Structure 1
Amino acid sequence: MLFLTVADVVADPAVQAGDPDVRVGGSALLAPVRWVHVSDSLGVARLLDGGELLLTTGAGWDADADGLRDFVVGLHRAGLAGIVFEQGTRHSEVPAAVVDACAELGLALVVLTREVKFVAVTEAVHHRLIAAQTDALFERQRLHELFTGLSLQGAPADVVVSETARALGSPVLLENLAGEVVAIEALGMTVADALGSRHGAERVFVQARGTRWGALLALPGPAHPAGRSTVLEQGATALAFGCIADGEEAWSLLAHRSLIEDLLGARFARTEDLAERLKAGGFALAGRHCLGIVARGVESVSALAYRARQAGFAVVAARVGDDDAALLSAPASVVVTDDVLLRIAGPGRAVFVGPSSDDVTGLLSSLRAARDLADGDRSDVGVRVRRVDDRPLERLVTTLRDDHRLQDHSRRMLAPLIRHDHDQRGDLLDVLGALLAHPGNRSAAAAASHLSRSVFYQRLAVIADLLDADLDDGETLAALHVALLSWRARR
């Protein structure tokens, strides 16, 4: 492993004592130095293994311009890192042919204008190289302990990606075999910029036992004592252990859960970053029919995602509390009917559907609205589809559920019923809900309450008496509807 560059050597005090003049620099100074070699011979190239920095006075350079050019070409082919030439009695100036050849080949050339002890230079450089190699050994051990610990603890892929990025000091991404981004740690960059730069990233495959699951990518960053590729390989190994233990499906679940949680929790700075994450995960928005849904009932979220893909949708789905939350995307020509949604959700499930959208902001609103609608409806009615667009009042109330004025209104209107149901283990709030759900059809309201009409009417009389309210008055029913929706949204 190479730890120093020509620029590092030139900056060393032992070389600075020679008042160095860089004749060929730029990117050539970034060449790695593995060792220092001292020689004035024109035949030194055959003694090199590559990565050496040549210290010379040129005392043996007894050749014409063509010969000196061939000499430099041979050094370059041997993998020389650069030439440090000390002016002296043999050459008061570095030969022009050497300067021209180094410039043409991009080989670093540094001229020492004052005499130095080459032994002091070699001693200083070799000391730094050995110290760096020792540091690298300790760093490799630290990395081994870090990633072994993550593997033994069963750390999820996003944690491994974050630790790899912090170790490297640069953004790191995890892709599956389809090129979809599973996890990303952008560090100081925006997510959109990091995703846009990944095609030039260093890449290590995540694989084990002959199976390849994806790739770990690192964007350019600072040098690492153990080598950047070593860090990436350690991270990839930890990820491979995770795939062996949890299966490849864990990556998809992780990527989907992260997106859903960030959307619902507003854990993002720019919508552009979310748009890029969705795009990187294969979820298209532009020109598509996109919406957020919440499915209630016991079911595997993986099965929901599978059925959505089988139906031609792009999907992002995750378990949120007791429900499944999902983003769906289909061609704009597709009509997302209730039957389609019920098939995607699975047997025996209720589905809450947000408005359609074709951008991130709208999709965010759609998912939140579906979630609010689901939170405000905890009834035991089974298979059904409820759309936010069909429930404007409920959507408004759930959006404002944290407003203290709405909460005060709810408590003030419903307090007698809440106390009655608590003390008597009654069902007056449920009966009121059935009445408000069927304001013009009390027979249907009684059926929804699972009560006979006579018993239902008795319950209504008790409600009217406790509230001192006329249950035939439209404004009273509207106020009670708002109060009940607010109360349910906070449960």
Structure 2
Amino acid sequence: MKPTVRTLLDRDDLALTLRTDEAVLPEGALDAPVPWVHSSDLADPAPFLEPGQVLLTTGTQFGADTEHDDPAGFDAYVARLREAGIAALGFGTEVIRSTPELLVDACARHGLPLIEVPYRVPFIRIARTIADLNAADANARQAWALQAQRAISLAALRPDGLGATLTELSHRLGTWVGLVDAAGALDREAPVGGLGQPALGEVVGEARSMLRRGQRASRTLEAGDSVGRPQRMTLQTLGAGGALRGVLVIGESPELDAAGREVVNAVIALAGLALEQNRDLDRARGHLRSGLLRSMLAGDVELAAGVSAEMWGPLPHDPVRVAVADLPTEHVDRMAEFLELRVDEKDGRLFFGRDGETVVVVAEDADTRVADELAAEFDVPVGVSDAASVTELARLHEQATRALERARETGAGVTWFDDISRQGVLAFLARTDARAVARATLEPLIDYDRENGTGLLETTRTWLEHGGQFDATAQELGVHRHTVRSRIALAEKLLGRDLSGFHARADLWAALLATE
């Protein structure tokens, strides 16, 4: 244990006396670690002091003539020391003079411990005591670190090496330790349930933010526990930048000094190694999943069902839907781990596999939340098929792919094939290649409206929506039917086509859809 002011006061060989009433001192003032002792009789030694030190003085700067003591001078002297952050002031009594009462009063006002050092105790003895105690503490902490690292290394050899390692670390640090996996879920903790809400939610949320950024980082977080008291939590990413495997979270602990950080670094290395080994296994499983997916798309569901039952559990029950999502290149492994976690939660009744630059998910119709979770967690577009039997997987995959193409036009989010199929076949003309042709078709009407400030294009659209009925169009636009007739006639002239026939109207309607 590091020496403190109280440690010095408790030493019989030093015979020090506390002249400041402990009741007027700040809480813990006597228990702060003391790194060193400095002696000086300067009137202003503050520029040469560091926070936490104990300053020793014989009082030469105050003079031996007590009749001319200046209360303001003592007060200013103590104020400078307090501002410099020293832990205590030691006064060597009877070297020049006895301890000045004005100094005792000033230290009481500023909450600075004043220690009286008897004449027979040299300052060097106090300095040597602090140095010896600090050296002993450093040796003890180093021995503690070596013992802790040895115990943690042995824990890593157990069947659940990663879990045992975190449990041992929690025991050694005397605090809660958790591991948030690459999917952003709490994977392990020690002790179980040792961190309550809302602190746990805040920690997991911050860990997810660090994982989304994909960069190696460490962070401290002040998180409130169940009764609202903040706790300092330390978060450290695991894995290489761009391929993070999780986040290690450690609660506040007095053991987290230099020796404690050595132990934590050892755990980070062991956890990173364990997770990297799991990565290789995950990739092998991913290749197997991709092969089974190709088999299912080719119509051989029986083979995939047998292998899946042995590896993860039964395939989803009919009816099923297929979701196809773009793979974020920077989060491929994290998305795979995210989906593996969902498979575990559902005892295998969810299947996924990689197909080129997309991931294909097969889920039961009653449980398709995974599509929304993928879109929200990874900010990617997702297409979802109709519901049907798993034996029709190829058709469902085609539907989901078409829905994904539509989802890509609007950015991240989920698009259901049900929705776009209700729009009809013409809705699929709204692709990039059809849009240019449609724009050229409608350009005469667009240019006319722009040059003349008219609504010819709007009138034409409304007229087509009403099946070419002039009265209904006029009523909706709030104009006379003859006005509608004249506008349509002008549109026919500008477009160079007769709109009385079905084919011309259908072509024009398709052009309008494609430019939406």
Q: TM-score band (shorter)?
A: 0.3 to 0.5
TM-score normalised per structure 1 = 0.45
TM-score when normalising by structure 2: 0.43
Bigger radius of gyration: 2
